[in-house]
Chains A and B, each alone.
Chain A
Amino acid sequence: MSPAQHTLTATGRASHTLLAAGEASEHRTLIITLFAVFVAATLVITVWAGRQTKDAADFYAGGRQFTGFQNGLAVSGDYMSAASFLGIAGAIALFGYDGFLYSIGFLVAWLVALLLVAEPLRNSGRYTMGDVLAYRMRQRPVRTAAGASTIVVSIFYLLAQMAGAGVLVSLLLGITSDGGKIGIVALVGVLMIVYVTIGGMKGTTWVQMVKAVLLIIGALLLTFLVLLKFDFNISDLLGKAADNSGKGSAFLEPGLKYGATGTTKLDFLSLGIALVLGTAGLPHILIRFYTVPTAKAARKSVIWAIGLIGAFYLMTLALGFGAAALIKPDEIIASNKAGNTAAPLLALHLGGVDSDWGAILLATISAVAFATILAVVAGLTLASSSSFAHDIYANVIKKGQAGEKQEIGAARWATVGIGAVSIVLGALARDLNVAGLVALAFAVAASANLPTILYSLFWKRFTTTGALWSIYGGLVTAVGLVLFSPVVSGKPTSMFPDVDFHWFPLENPGLISIPVGFLLGIVGTLLSKETPDEDKYAELEVRSLTGTGAH
């Protein structure tokens, strides 16, 4: 979960506030034009990529021919959601230092992927996370579990993006009617179905790259303009931000948002653990490593991603403190209670309120935010439909007897199905607490997926029972705890504020569910009577470390 999701929560509730003084609606034409240009360009890419998509390796893995740098860009594109751009900047603008804490968890998490997961996964898997989890286990039960947890993680993540997208887009375009918001969610949904069914992994990867470049250029431009205002004196920038926030030096210290009580502190710890361990278990990130030819290229893509994502989060620091220093907090809050519009507002102020430059900058930054949402949503849809088609349809329902054409067909239909489901849920969830949804995605990924990935790769004794216990145990614990947390009921900010059936005090379940996932994997393995398949482990271990016979 990121501050964006936290903040998006409030957005949902305060959905009728508009950008201050209606700047957004004045520049609506410009914003829509820029957005339309992006959509048109990405559709051209998608159709082009679709023509190059011949077999399953093309559809699922983009033909495995992207370079480490290209995939690094695409990975960054998949990871830096609107949540990071608008949310972290907004949280820093309102809560100062506490907003920054998230970027750190999001970045450090990549080392788990780099050191332990990316290369072995690339070497031994083919299209999905389930390929590696089921490698040395009984195929059908483990693939079913892997497919289920992939789809649960992706749909929750997707829902949060859709709901957040609807809310943000409405804010930026000044659309407030329910019909308008549902329309936006439906538009995002239809576009993502088109990207994925036609372009497959190739199209999606190119869209991610374009988006990542746009996002980085946008952030660089704003960062440069902020620093220019303060003659590149960071201490001045911070001092001005602290003064302007009205909170003084507390604005630059941890605790404004999470330091209130012992419970909020534990919650922060829980969130921190989920963030750092969740990334390496996110299926839409993992399948990106199949788009490059070798494990070495997979390593290079993670290293590029760490560089790009790290640089980007450093820039959000300048954007957030810049917004805090240059815009009155009242204006940020009036525009959006949660601060989600701080970055676009900053663009407006940097260009000059009431000037053409301000309008153009605002429109550009808003269009970049749209691009971001669309690309992330496409990546998530691809991950879940791949897993449905490859793990569940081809290997469980058809028992490995499905032809390649049939499998891709199933993936395309799954995309349409998942797209339709997320349009409906996204429309329903547009005013719901998106915080819970993304917290759940990260926590489930860390509780259900990561333990099984690590045990599968590195623990000889691990068995099918252990894998099932850890996937389902982590999944059920994480989802269950969120269900009985204040995210769902019992607080004014909950999904269902009018009822109260919560007994778990924390908003993020990671502190409990992640250790449970890891422990159940061990307990399930030790209690089961089955003997681990040593031959298959030899095969997996040698393949994962050397790349012998890699697809």
Chain B
Amino acid sequence: MATETPPPAKHPASLPSTEEFTEVQQSAEFGELRRAHRSFAFPLTIAFIAWYLLYVLLSNYAGGFMGTKVAGNINVALVLGLAQFLTTFLIAWWYARHAAAKLDPKAEAIKSRMEGGA
């Protein structure tokens, strides 16, 4: 529906030239898009992997701490496990918001200009 019909050729006929791609890649506008993606996605990836590894290491090597009761039969291990779920949901939601606000408009502007001009 929303797709451009893919022509049988290896690349769609409308694909801009190599020069145009290089030019766009070096433009300030694309630089901003790249920065907006990387400065969000890279540190966040490192952060959630570190947080996950911390959890794995605690489970492995800090049994006593993980077994501490918090309320009733609910202990730290369960709370931290559920916290991993919670942070995963939150990060997904946060990224969706960031992408809609900061990435999509820039990406669409570049795309429509490149495809329109080709």
- List the interface of chain A (C-beta within 8 A of B): 57, 64-65, 97, 100-101, 104-105, 107-108, 110-112, 114-116, 126, 234-236, 238-239, 242, 249-250, 252-255, 258-259, 265, 268-269, 272-273, 276, 293-294, 296, 299-300, 302-303, 306-307, 310, 313-314, 400, 404, 458, 534-535, 538-539, 541-543, 545-551
Contact = CB atoms under 8 A, between A and B. Distances in A.
Contact of B88 (A108, A300, A539): A108
Contacts of B6: 57, 126, 551
Given A253-B67, A268-B60, A541-B34, A547 B111 contact: yes
B39 interface: no
A294 B81 CA distance: 34
B18 A296 contact: no
Contact of B8 (A235, A252, A404): A404
Contacts of B38: 458
Nearest to B36: A545
Contacts, number: 178
Nearest to B40: A115
19 contacts: A65-B3, A104-B55, A111-B91, A115-B44, A115-B91, A235-B73, A235-B74, A254-B60, A254-B66, A259-B63, A268-B60, A272-B52, A534-B22, A535-B18, A545-B37, A545-B107, A546-B33, A548-B110, A549-B114
Interface of B: 1-4, 6, 8, 10-12, 14-16, 18, 21-22, 24-26, 30, 33-34, 37-38, 40-41, 44-45, 48-49, 52-53, 55-57, 59-61, 63, 66-67, 71-75, 77-78, 81, 84-85, 88-89, 91-93, 95-96, 99, 103-104, 107-108, 110-111, 114-115
Contacts of B12: 549, 551
Contacts of A105: 52, 56
A542 B77 CA distance: 44
A535 B21 contact: yes
Contacts of B10: 400
B103 to A, nearest CB: 8
Contacts of B2: 293-294
B18 A545 contact: no
A306 B67 CA distance: 28
The 8 closest A-B pairs by CB, nearest first: A235-B72, A254-B59, A538-B25, A238-B73, A253-B67, A293-B2, A549-B15, A272-B56
B52 A104 contact: yes
B53 to A, nearest CB: 7
